[in-house]
A and B are shown apart, each in its own frame.
Chain A
């Protein structure tokens, strides 16, 4: 796939802006619109722009790990986020919360680990689907 000059020049921006936005959407998702699914899809859009602009190989290089590895890491992270609950708090996937006071009260919960797992899985899935399709030789 070849891409226009405009696309190639603007691609870095089209990659990093969605990526940054996706992290923001992920982190605020528990209280405002957003969350792992939306964040992951947004990040996926960024990766697709990158792949269209530069080709599949550079995008794979950017990801470092195989895209399917992200799927596995994501599912495992989400699954692991439920394990601490087994040490006393309740059934599997009962989320735990801490409210450390560092000037302001910072709400920290294992939910964010779970949502990050969702996010990583979605990113991995989108990347796998699109990169596989791009590399299909009959295309």
Chain B
């Protein structure tokens, strides 16, 4: 079972990254969600997948019975899922807002903050030689 699960999660990562690299931001967003899910699954699987019983201590017992699943990765990804949701919606709002400002959802059009350098015209003038005679 483990090899199949590893390959499946690898496949989900691949699709996520592929979508992540798209031009239009809604697809980028979907890639972000897929990639996030794949990461959660990776953490979950790293805690081993043998057991099927949920990690609850039976009433009256002191400790978890043998054969219950690993609680630690569950605690880690539970919050990760909720935070991932919050960040996804935040990113979505950025896209919505960007569409309002620029009327485009193509990442290449949203360059107001970071104007690509014009390679023909160097922004830094070459240094002039130091004046021989000091002022």
Contact = CB atoms under 8 A, between A and B. Distances in A.
A100 B54 CA distance: 30
A41 interface: yes
Given A33-B54, A125-B86, A129-B89, A136 B96 contact: yes
Interface string B45-61: 00000000010100000
B79 interface: yes
B133 interface: no
A10 interface: no
Query: How many interface residues does chain B have, given as a range?
Result: 10 to 19
Interface in B9-49: none
Given A138-B96, A138-B100, A37 B79 contact: yes
Contacts of A69: none
B99 interface: yes
A37 B78 contact: yes
Interface of B: 54, 56, 78-79, 82, 86, 89-90, 92-93, 96, 99-100
18 contacts: A31-B56, A33-B54, A33-B56, A37-B78, A37-B79, A37-B82, A122-B82, A125-B86, A129-B89, A129-B90, A129-B93, A133-B93, A133-B96, A136-B96, A136-B100, A138-B96, A138-B99, A138-B100
